[in-house]
Amino acid sequence: MFDARPVGYVIGLLVAVLGVSMLIPTAFDYAQGDPNWWAFAESALMTIFVGGTVALSCANTAGQKLSIQQTFLITTGVWFALPIFGALPFVLGAPEARYVDAFFEAMSGLTTTGSTVFSGLDAMPQGFLLWRGILQWLGGIGIIVVAMVFLPELRVGGMQIFRTEAFDTFGKILPRAGEIASRISGIYLSLTAVCAICYYLAGLSPFDATVHAMTTIATGGFANYDASFAAFDPAAEYVGTAFMMLAALPFVRFVQLTAGTARPLLEDRQIHVFFATALVIVCLLASQTVIRDGSFTEPAIRKALFNAVSIMTGTGYASADYMTWGSFAVAMMFFIGLIGGCAGSTSCSIKIFRYQLLFSSIRTQLQRIRSPHGVFIPRFAGRAVAPDVLNSVMSFFVFFIVTLGLVAVGLAMTGLDFTTSISGAAAALGNIGPGLGDVIGPTGNFAPLNDTAKWLLAFAMLVGRLEVMAVYAILTVRFWRA
């Protein structure tokens, strides 16, 4: 019989931790004399009480080994439960949102998507803005742990190819999670602090620098202003570009770097391809800008660089309305959002390593066609790729594309136009942030969408953040019979 207590213990504990984190904006608003601190205090008490009660009632299973069903359920359940409670401050306090909007915003934050339903951010209480930043910051470190601990063991989307870079065995998955989280936390905090200092030196206020550092390292994209990075000096765009790129790299390489080993970081083929892809994309967009304007200008190149990196890494900041750059640039922005960063980073979408495996498989098939009697094996980073890894990656691509189509059709059925439907589906499933068009483009938000569309997009964010297969697995009857 399935034992749900270990699942309840982990989810309850993390919900309680989320409640404790609400005390940060509570104290901040109280110090600022803002009455909105009551909303955070009430939310914190409710969240800590519910999470703590569930965790305590299941605490006798804390040391129990997890089955594969329990691990899948924890992975998905955490990302479903946390937004339920993370939405409370948005309902009880400013902006006193309806629950569908609050849940959408919390899911967008914790999945580091960056799509928002709120406008008038410039006039919002600072505690509200801080909470949005905390949601994304927690979601960023959480997805690193999931990507490094759970997904390789669950053999989701080809992530098992990174099992050799893990720390222990499946039976000790929770101790491993704690060990990895402790190692990653120091690096994550350090990058956030350095990013905040750099933003401050680039002209941002201490508060803006802190919040934007949290959402940059999480590649989340929540900003404190409706104009996003267009509200800041140009230097901030260069700082943002640099740290978005760093956050899109595998954090296990930073762990190895701090241990005195720089070679894995320098020799990682995934990192090489990521930088090369970003360079080609920026050059194409910059060239198109030069051709369109007839001159080479620093602002045009800077905005092409910043916005391309922002969309490719799934961060979702904007410093310009790229919908006015022409059809080529708009098409590029749509497709580069489906690239993503490296595995084991805070970045999202399909990710570089899957494209590497896909092209390696295609190349191998072409070689076999030309030489039917030859022996050709797909390789990744110099290692032969096992058939189960390739099957998992191909399944991921199929499920991703099918899900993208289904979500887009579902959005269209709610009355949305084609551009909003297809780009909204891609933005949610790829955890990119802004879509295309006048409604959800870089200068708009998701507030005008109907409630059904918002619930559908929130579900797509969850599916995309957990690499598609982790969510679908628990929806099958065969999974529960295993």
pLDDT at 376 over 90: no
∠ at Cα 458 (456, 462), nearest 5°?
115
d(CA 303, CA 234): 9
The CA R_g of the chain, rounded to the nearest whole Å, is: 22
pLDDT at 164 over 60: no
d(CA 22, CA 227): 26
Query: What pLDDT is attached to residue 167?
Result: 43
457 CB neighbour count, 10 Å cutoff = 28
Block residue for tokens 């997009």: 457
pLDDT at 196 over 90: yes
Structure confidence by residue, pLDDT tens digits, 42-55: 999 999 999 999 99
| Between 263 and 157, residue with greater pLDDT | 263
Query: What pLDDT is attached to residue 166?
Result: 44
Query: What pLDDT is attached to residue 163?
Result: 61
Q: Is 85 helix (H, G, I), strand (E, B) or coil?
A: helix
pLDDT at 248 over 60: yes
Sorted by sequence, the CB contacts under 8 Å of residue 158 that are 6+ apart come out as 353, 354, 357, 389, 390, 392, 393, 396
Query: What pLDDT is attached to residue 182?
Result: 79
Half-sphere exposure of 55 (CA within 13 A, CB side): 15
Q: Is 233 helix (H, G, I), strand (E, B) or coil?
A: coil
Smallest Cα–Cα separation from 315: which of 337, 283, 342, 331?
Answer: 337
Q: Across residues 127-149, what is the average pLDDT?
A: 91
Which pLDDT band holds residue 177 (cuts at 50, 70, 90)?
Answer: low
DSSP annotation of 167: S
CB 288 within 8 A of CB 331: no
DSSP annotation of 166: S
- Cis bond before residue 95 (omega within 30° of 0): yes
pLDDT at 171 over 60: no
d(CA 112, CA 348): 8
Query: What pLDDT is attached to residue 4?
Result: 83
Q: Across residues 459-463, what is the average pLDDT?
A: 96
Q: Across residues 112-124, what is the average pLDDT?
A: 95
∠ at Cα 195 (193, 196), nearest 5°?
65
Smallest Cα–Cα separation from 140: which of 251, 254, 43?
Answer: 251
Smallest Cα–Cα separation from 180: which of 145, 228, 129?
Answer: 145
Smallest Cα–Cα separation from 255: which of 162, 180, 145?
Answer: 180
Smallest Cα–Cα separation from 44: which of 136, 133, 143, 131?
Answer: 131
CA-CA-CA-CA torsion for 69, 180, 346, 458, nearest 10 degrees? Answer: 30
Q: Which two tokens stand for residue 63?
A: 């040391």
Query: What pLDDT is attached to residue 176?
Result: 59
Q: Which of the residue ranges 3-7, 39-43, 107-111 would you say has the lowest mean pLDDT?
A: 3-7
| Between 366 and 179, residue with greater pLDDT | 366
Block residue for tokens 């803005």: 129
The residues facing 380 across adjacent strands are 383
pLDDT at 132 over 90: yes
Block residue for tokens 């089955």: 67
Query: What pLDDT is attached to residue 169?
Result: 35
pTM equals 0.94
Q: Specify burial of residue 242 (Cβ count, 10 A radius: 0-12, 13-18, 19+).
A: middle
Instruction: Indicate the domain borders of the chain.
Output: 389-481
Smallest Cα–Cα separation from 39: which of 80, 82, 97?
Answer: 97
Percent of the chain with pLDDT over 70: 95
pLDDT at 130 over 80: yes
Block residue for tokens 């680039």: 202
| Between 238 and 477, residue with greater pLDDT | 238
Q: Which two tokens stand for residue 351?
A: 């990710």
Q: Is 213 helix (H, G, I), strand (E, B) or coil?
A: helix
Q: Which two tokens stand for residue 327?
A: 């059809």
Q: Across residues 399-408, what is the average pLDDT?
A: 96
Query: What pLDDT is attached to residue 387?
Result: 87
Q: Across residues 285-290, what is the average pLDDT?
A: 85
Which pLDDT band holds residue 226 (cuts at 50, 70, 90)?
Answer: very high
Smallest Cα–Cα separation from 212: which of 203, 202, 200, 223?
Answer: 223
Block residue for tokens 């551009």: 419
d(CA 306, CA 249): 17
